[in-house]
Amino acid sequence: MSRVNRRARAPVRRALSLLAAVAALPALALFGSCSLECRESPPYIVGKPRCVIGEKSGCYLVAGIEFDFYNTDDRELRSLSVAALVYDRETRDNPLIGSNRIAATLTDSLPGGSKAALAIALDPYLCEIPAAPYIVDFFTVTRVEYADGTSWTDPFGLYHAGSE
């Protein structure tokens, strides 16, 4: 290959290298932040979520998702937001009205270092009484708010649990 051809291709190679570097920046930012985020433990421990059919006084009439929540932080918890995917146990289809993704915010106060049994009502998402408990998957605490005004978030669902 002659020097002229190499010199003519050099700007093209530089442009392609620059384009590849620019295209890689969003991936580096995403995975770089994930690796930093993944090293931090969440300020809680959550028990395996379970779907329960039947009434729980003051919470739901037909069905709900129950789980244990341990506030491992020293701060008092003011509220927590959770999300989950719900599936029919037999068909693995969506058993709910609309999407099978549910989200809820619980406003129970929980002192630092304490445990509580919490529940989310499925009633607003149902059109019939379930024959069997549903599968609860990808159960994620998406936000924890503390009494001092600070918060912790998991917008990508890095820390999640499932019933099976």
Per residue in 130-147, pLDDT tens? 999 999 999 999 999 999
Start-to-end CA distance of the chain, whole Å, equals 62
Opening angle at CA 79, ends 60 and 133, nearest 5 = 30
CB 65 within 8 A of CB 49: yes
Segments in the chain below pLDDT 70: 1-39, 164
The three-class DSSP label of residue 5 is: helix
How far is C-alpha 3 from the chain's CA centre? Answer: 57
Q: What predicted TM-score, i.e. pTM, was given to this entire model?
A: 0.74
130: nearest Cα among 95, 101, 162, 160: 95
- Name the phi and psi angles at 91, rounded to 5: -90, -15
